[in-house]
Chain A
Amino acid sequence: MSSTTLFARAASKRVLPGFGLSLGVVLLYVSLILLLPMTSLIGELSQLSLAEYWAIISEERVVASYTITILAAAIAAIVNAVFGLLMAWVLVRYDFPGKRLLDALMDLPFALPTAVAGITLATMYSSSGFMGRLLAPLGIEVAYTWVGIALAMAFTSIPFVVRTVQPVLEDLPVEIDEAALTLGASDGLAFRRVILPLLWPALVTGTGLAFVRSLGEFGAVIFIAGNMPYETEITSLMIFVKLQEYDYAGASAIASVVLAVSLLLLLALNLWQGHFVKRLHGGKS
């Protein structure tokens, strides 16, 4: 068999079954796993009139919970953006003993049940815990304040930043920074003007994912939050409260707000990324 016929065969025939079947299976799966639950959520909402819906989602205490959740998630995401980038950089660019272990540790928040993380954090940072005891004399309270909420969110969402930036950085040859340096750029300038622009889309996506993940986090946050009305109640708790009252529609209403914010943000990220890639390739995508 000549090599040309082999390539011709490879082009027409793929390892997995044909496009029609593959796409069909994918669509079915997406419908069952993703869309069906979403539809049923919307279905719950249809029990509410528009005025009722608005009354539920704009209730003062629920609004306070949005503020707390969004602010804490934003802080967690920004902190993770900085440190996640640094971690990805160290993991890609340096060799050191224990690197594989550190790399594996990055996924720990994905593997650990979040409630376990939450209880551990709360125990550690309460005024009698070993971190809390150190921080208390400095006047820093972590557990049962919004700082604790942000901390728990940062814990559960760090892999999103690291794991999005890492592969991009791996594709980025060291020669690029070396070229910048030989052309006379300072370290800072080379990072800012050469490396950061290339990492930017991955970094923003990772940070966005971390933010969205934090919005819906329940298990890890609930134990460290203290759950004081107007001060440390997160939106997920408000949903939980509605469920306790057998108010499925109310719970769905609040959930729909979180969902809408998440979807909008993810959509914006995707659009922006498409736009960015287009610009990177000189107008052609």
Chain B
Amino acid sequence: MSFLTLRAGVVATALTASLGLAAPALAADRELLNSSYDIARELFATINPEFIDWWQEQQDESVDVKQSHGGSSKQARAILQGLKADVVTFNQVTDVDVLAEAGLVAEDWQQQFPNNASPYYSTTAFLVREGNPNGIESWDDLIEDDVEIVFPNPKTSGNGRYTYLAAWGYADRELDGDEEKIREFMKQFLNNVKVFDTGGRGATTTFVERNIGDVLISFESEVNNIRKEYGEDDYDVVVPPVSILAEFPVAVVEQYAERNDNLDLAKGYLDYLYTEEAQRLLAGFNYRVNDETVQQEFADQFPKTELLRVEDVFGGWNEVMDQHFAGGGILDQLQRR
């Protein structure tokens, strides 16, 4: 059963990651803790050993990278409460901003690394059942009466927030910014949601294992990985012509890195993510990257699509959080009966 193999695979990678990292830990001169989002576990389990080799070559020093994964906001909360992570690799700009507000991360963290401190990016895409029986090509098709959608709750999941914003951004463009009509569109969209799981992996399980819904909306990377894992014959990936740019921000948690005497190592780790070698690994996990050579290599894998920026459509994450997702905000209003 594919589900079991995935689970077994996850456990195996987690085990080998922890064991594999534990072994050289005896000899490692230094240790780095990377706090990251839930579904990046396998990604960083692949990247970390490569980084360790790279650092050894460059600096002639053995290091060890430890992983800590959970919901992005949960991880940020843990760091606020004292988890001594040296770097964060999140899927939400706001989660890093929270750390910046608390003085743990530099104010100008987005300027410290290229591309808004986002070494890779993705967008939201659709996973539909084989042959796309409902003919779903774009966001319009998702508000038909008989379509059942699965995506995680925007209140509890960054992934869900991107989905909501992508739909809104699309409607905003199609309806020429007529807020009344956009809200109507969004109401129908939210009405078609069958199950509101609390996170991305939960939504995947609902769609794939429990066979609920006609379309799963998630990160393009996740959707492609699911298809690869669960059977390319059973599902199709649809990347809508217009979607949202989902950046995956990284930052050095300066206060802790400094205390751990890891400032250079932390910066080196994040720099490494921009190298061609790491970009290739990232593309292998179906994330879009900026490195031009790698982009060309993987061109077939990523259909051309127009990606809306949160800054352009909504004026930035602070505005988005205040207006849309805060208690009593637009999302709450849309879901009011």
A interface list, Cβ under 8 A from B: 56, 59-61, 119, 122-123, 126-129, 143-144, 222-223, 226-230, 237, 240-247, 250
Taking CB atoms, residues of chain B closer than 8 Å to A123 are 209-210
* A240:B212 contact, CB within 8 angstroms: no
* B98:A246 contact, CB within 8 angstroms: yes
Q: A126-B210, A128-B210, A143-B210 are in contact. Are A226 and B335 (CB under 8 A)?
A: no
Q: Which of B98, B211, B337 contacts A127 (CB 8 A)?
A: B211
Taking CB atoms, residues of chain B closer than 8 Å to A127 are 210-212
Having A128-B211, A244-B155, one finds 7 other A-B pairs with CB under 8 Å, namely A61-B332, A127-B210, A127-B212, A144-B194, A227-B195, A241-B155, A246-B77
Q: Which of B198, B205, B206, B337 contacts A240 (CB 8 A)?
A: B198
* B211:A244 contact, CB within 8 angstroms: no
Q: How far is the CB of B128 from chain A (nearest CB, A)?
A: 17
Taking CB atoms, residues of chain B closer than 8 Å to A245 are 155, 325-327
Cα distance, A156 to B194, chains bound together (Å) = 25
A-B contact pairs, 15 of them (CB 8 A): A61-B336, A126-B211, A127-B212, A128-B210, A128-B211, A128-B212, A129-B210, A144-B195, A228-B195, A244-B73, A244-B155, A245-B155, A245-B325, A245-B326, A247-B327
Cα distance, A168 to B327, chains bound together (Å) = 48
Cα distance, A250 to B328, chains bound together (Å) = 13
Taking CB atoms, residues of chain B closer than 8 Å to A61 are 332, 335-336
Taking CB atoms, residues of chain B closer than 8 Å to A59 are 327-328
Cα distance, A247 to B327, chains bound together (Å) = 10
Q: How far is the CB of A239 from chain B (nearest CB, A)?
A: 11
Cα distance, A160 to B206, chains bound together (Å) = 31
* B196:A228 contact, CB within 8 angstroms: yes
Interface status of B156 (Cβ within 8 A of chain A)? yes
CB proximity to A under 8 Å, residues B52-72:
71
Cα distance, A59 to B155, chains bound together (Å) = 16
Q: How far is the CB of A236 from chain B (nearest CB, A)?
A: 11
Q: How far is the CB of B245 from chain A (nearest CB, A)?
A: 22
Minimal Cβ-Cβ distance residue in B for A248: B77
CB proximity to A under 8 Å, residues B200-255:
202, 205-206, 209-212
CB proximity to A under 8 Å, residues B119-161:
153, 155-156
Cα distance, A230 to B77, chains bound together (Å) = 28
* B210:A122 contact, CB within 8 angstroms: yes
Cα distance, A145 to B197, chains bound together (Å) = 13
Interface status of B32 (Cβ within 8 A of chain A)? no
Cα distance, A244 to B154, chains bound together (Å) = 10
Interface status of B193 (Cβ within 8 A of chain A)? yes
Minimal Cβ-Cβ distance residue in B for A223: B202
Cα distance, A220 to B195, chains bound together (Å) = 16
Minimal Cβ-Cβ distance residue in A for B71: A244
Q: How far is the CB of A238 from chain B (nearest CB, A)?
A: 9
Q: How far is the CB of A132 from chain B (nearest CB, A)?
A: 8
Q: How far is the CB of A54 from chain B (nearest CB, A)?
A: 14
Q: How far is the CB of B177 from chain A (nearest CB, A)?
A: 26
Cα distance, A243 to B196, chains bound together (Å) = 17
Cα distance, A280 to B211, chains bound together (Å) = 56
Taking CB atoms, residues of chain A closer than 8 Å to B202 are 223
Q: A229-B335, A230-B335, A245-B327 are in contact. Are A126 and B212 (CB under 8 A)?
A: yes
Taking CB atoms, residues of chain B closer than 8 Å to A126 are 206, 210-212
Taking CB atoms, residues of chain B closer than 8 Å to A143 are 210
Q: A245-B327, A247-B327, A250-B327 are in contact. Are A227 and B211 (CB under 8 A)?
A: no
Taking CB atoms, residues of chain A closer than 8 Å to B209 are 123
Taking CB atoms, residues of chain A closer than 8 Å to B326 are 245
Q: How far is the CB of A182 from chain B (nearest CB, A)?
A: 56
Taking CB atoms, residues of chain B closer than 8 Å to A228 are 193, 195-196
Q: How far is the CB of B124 from chain A (nearest CB, A)?
A: 19
* A226:B327 contact, CB within 8 angstroms: no
Cα distance, A119 to B202, chains bound together (Å) = 10
Q: Which of B77, B212, B328 contacts A243 (CB 8 A)?
A: B77
Q: A227-B153, A245-B325 are in contact. Are A237 and B211 (CB under 8 A)?
A: no
Most chain-A Cβ atoms within 10 A of its Cβ — which of B73, B156, B193, B211? B156
Q: A127-B212, A247-B327, A250-B327 are in contact. Are A226 and B73 (CB under 8 A)?
A: no
Cα distance, A119 to B197, chains bound together (Å) = 12
Q: Which of B71, B196, B325 contacts A227 (CB 8 A)?
A: B196
Q: How far is the CB of A111 from chain B (nearest CB, A)?
A: 21
Taking CB atoms, residues of chain B closer than 8 Å to A119 are 205
| For the complex of A and B, 3 pairs with smallest distance between CB atoms | A126-B210, A128-B211, A227-B196
Taking CB atoms, residues of chain B closer than 8 Å to A226 are 194-196
Q: A59-B327, A127-B212, A244-B156 are in contact. Are A230 and B337 (CB under 8 A)?
A: yes
Taking CB atoms, residues of chain B closer than 8 Å to A128 are 210-212
CB proximity to A under 8 Å, residues B21-61:
none
Taking CB atoms, residues of chain A closer than 8 Å to B77 are 243, 246
Minimal Cβ-Cβ distance residue in B for A229: B335
Taking CB atoms, residues of chain B closer than 8 Å to A244 are 71, 73-74, 155-156
